[in-house]
Amino acid sequence: MSTNQLWETKPLEIWDRAKALRAYWQQSIDDSAADTKLLLAHGNTGDVSWRDYFSNLNIIEDNPVGAMMASTSDEFSRKSRLASEVRGWGREICGYVQNCWGAQFLGYQQDGSVFPYRDLSVPFTDPCDQHTKRGQQCMDLSPIPRWGGDWPIYLGEDDPARDKELIETRVWCTLKIIADIERIFDTEFDDASFINDIKTERERSDHGIRIMNLMTKTPSPLSQKDLYSFYTLGGLTRLPPEILGDFWQALIDEIQWRADHQIAAVGNERYRYMEAHPSPWHFLKYMRYLEHYGAVCIGSQYSQMMAGSVSWNKETKEFERRVIRKPEKDVENVKTREDAVRYVLTEARGHRFKDDEYFRKNEITDFAEGFGVQGAILALWRGGVGCTLTRKEQGLRLSKMGVRVLHYEGSQPGDRTDLDEKRFLDQIDEWMECQGLQKIS
């Protein structure tokens, strides 16, 4: 242990499994063009994971693909974005979308292989304008089947009658998508597995809440950089549920052990900071840079979404599941596809588009209190509206409660163009030093 080390630390054992999952995901993309399975664009269907129950469906989300492209090849992602821009897409459009669909226009991927053209598309409105429109590029390219899963929400006081109508719309959209896919592609939806998984879903998402609560401990057993990998691999990449179930169980076991034994993610942790939404995926090394100051990032409202909709209990000092609307039927009485869809969507009312925007700014102070942070780094992204909305308000609220806030500017987490990395690190130096912190390693 060096003189500056305050806590024992140890590499995560689960990294090997995470890397294997990462390779599995990449392989599934690489194989997609030649694969006989149907290729679904998006399928980021929020709370009802129907996509997992069609055996012949592969899903590629453009967000992780676009982020990976920006991270691994600035040259190719620039080329892809240019291919979109010359066809009329605006410069302020989300980098993930521009990267992924720009490659579609080029017709090939980063390694030169054929771009995997999508067979169907299900974009939806959560959580930003870019999500609403992001299925458009592959839909405009060819007349593939497409659906819109509206995401009805409202703000203001709770109104059960109003809520019911909005939930029913979402239920209807979901059932329609499933039935249409069955009809158009002559494929079968596995109702039995779907219903069964609904019943065990609570257990799986409880893992997310447990991890979140473990990360409130000092020292934090994970840092944000680790968490991003697990959150992405465990959620956004849409890997098969049986693979993910084992992965999450192993992850929670290891984190619990680390928390119990005070094994730190950052051995010199003496300063805790948070974020709000995605960081520049190609430049996560700033987190390592901050570790020279003994600063650890404990997560963000974005990465902690793995826990679903949660709220901070000021008395128990724990994050708890938020259930706004109790389903009419108990989970034991869920017998049909329709029951299952309605059950999940009713319970999920706590985390919806615009609610997300409401929670972002109104509950960021709870988040800061729960994780005991001294600082917050809040990116200001010029593209991808959902990555920036409410960020300034969040900064003001955090400042008011005494959390020191650093804003920095860039294009979008999946677009390197405008992020001045050197300037960002200079900002970090000044931010740390003005709080009386010097580099200790």
Partner 1 sequence: MNKFSSIFENRHDYARDWKKRSGGKVLGYYCTYFPEEVAYAAGILPVRILAKHFPDDTTDRLMYGNCYVTRDMFNQFNLGHYDYIDGLVCLESCQWWYNAFDVTMQVFPNLWSHYLFTPDYPDGNRSKDVLRSELSVIQKKFEEWTGKTVTDAELDNAIEIYNTNRRLLRRLYELRRFNNPVILGSEAMEIMLANQVMDKAEANKMLEELIPELEDRAPGEDRVRFILIGSETYDAELEKLIEGVGGNVVIDDLDNGSGYVWNEVVPLKDRLMAIGLRYLGKPHSALKDNVWRRRPEQIFRLSEDFQVDAAIIAKQIYCHPHGTDMYAVWKLLQERKIPYHTFERDTTLPYEETRLGVEALIHVAKQGMTRANGWS
Nearer to partner 1, 219 or 384 (CB): 384
Nearer to partner 1, 9 or 104 (CB): 104
3-state secondary structure 151-185: CCCCCCCCCHHHHHHHHHHHHHHHHHHHHHHHHHH
State both tokens at 13: 């054992």
User: Per CB under 8 A, does 102 bind partner 1?
Assistant: no
User: Per CB under 8 A, does 398 bind partner 1?
Assistant: no
CB of 155 to partner 1, least distance (A): 4
User: Per CB under 8 A, does 34 bind partner 1?
Assistant: no
Rounded Cα–Cα distance for residues 360 and 378 (Å): 12
- Per CB under 8 A, which region of 158-166, 187-195, 250-258, 366-374 contacts partner 1? 158-166
Residues with Cβ < 8 Å from 57, sequence gap 6 or more? 37, 38, 40, 43, 51, 181, 187
User: Per CB under 8 A, does 303 bind partner 1?
Assistant: no
**Count, residues in the chain:** 441
Rounded Cα–Cα distance for residues 102 and 85 (Å): 8
How many residues belong to the site for partner 1 (CB under 8 A)?
55
Give yes or no for a contact between 121 and 138, defined as CB atoms under 8 angstroms apart: yes
- Per CB under 8 A, which region of 51-59, 149-157, 250-258, 291-299 contacts partner 1? 149-157
Neighbours of 129 (CB within 10 A): 14
Out of 276, 344, 348, 389, point to the residue binding partner 1 (CB under 8 A): 389
Nearer to partner 1, 163 or 429 (CB): 163
Rounded Cα–Cα distance for residues 295 and 281 (Å): 19
E strand or H helix at 243: helix 241-260
Residue 54, beta-bridge partner list: 189
CB of 397 to partner 1, least distance (A): 10
Out of 380, 401, 433, 435, point to the residue binding partner 1 (CB under 8 A): 380
User: Per CB under 8 A, does 386 bind partner 1?
Assistant: yes
User: Per CB under 8 A, does 391 bind partner 1?
Assistant: yes
Among 402, 377, 408, CA closest to 300: 377
Instruction: Map residue 20 onto helix, strand or coil.
Output: helix
Nearer to partner 1, 87 or 317 (CB): 87
Rounded Cα–Cα distance for residues 146 and 42 (Å): 11
Out of 130, 220, 279, 304, point to the residue binding partner 1 (CB under 8 A): 130
Among 385, 368, 367, 380, CA closest to 406: 380
User: Per CB under 8 A, does 90 bind partner 1?
Assistant: yes
At CA 229, angle to CA 223 and CA 232, rounded to 5? Answer: 130
Out of 5, 33, 71, 152, point to the residue binding partner 1 (CB under 8 A): 152
User: Per CB under 8 A, does 191 bind partner 1?
Assistant: no
Among 21, 20, 39, 29, CA closest to 111: 29
Nearer to partner 1, 204 or 404 (CB): 404
- Per CB under 8 A, which region of 61-69, 112-120, 123-131, 301-309 contacts partner 1? 123-131
Largest pairwise CA distance in the chain: 66
Nearer to partner 1, 32 or 346 (CB): 346
Give yes or no for a contact between 84 and 137, defined as CB atoms under 8 angstroms apart: yes
User: Per CB under 8 A, does 125 bind partner 1?
Assistant: yes
Nearer to partner 1, 263 or 406 (CB): 406
Among 150, 118, 146, 144, CA closest to 132: 150
User: Per CB under 8 A, does 269 bind partner 1?
Assistant: no
Q: Is 346 exposed, middle or buried (0-12, 13-18, 19+ CB in 10 A)?
A: buried
User: Per CB under 8 A, does 338 bind partner 1?
Assistant: no
Nearer to partner 1, 18 or 377 (CB): 377
Out of 6, 24, 74, 148, point to the residue binding partner 1 (CB under 8 A): 148
User: Per CB under 8 A, does 208 bind partner 1?
Assistant: no
Instruction: Map residue 309 onto helix, strand or coil.
Output: coil
Rounded Cα–Cα distance for residues 352 and 299 (Å): 21
CB of 361 to partner 1, least distance (A): 8
User: Per CB under 8 A, does 20 bind partner 1?
Assistant: no
User: Per CB under 8 A, does 40 bind partner 1?
Assistant: no
DSSP string, 334-380: --SHHHHHHHHHHHGGGS-TTHHHHHHHHSHHHHHHHHT-SEEEEEE
Nearer to partner 1, 148 or 372 (CB): 148
Q: Using CB under 8 A as the criterion, which residues of the chain lie in contact with partner 1 when the complex forms?
A: 84, 87-93, 97, 123, 125, 128-130, 132-137, 139-140, 146-148, 150-156, 159, 162, 165-166, 168-169, 172-173, 176, 354, 357, 380-382, 385-386, 388-393, 396
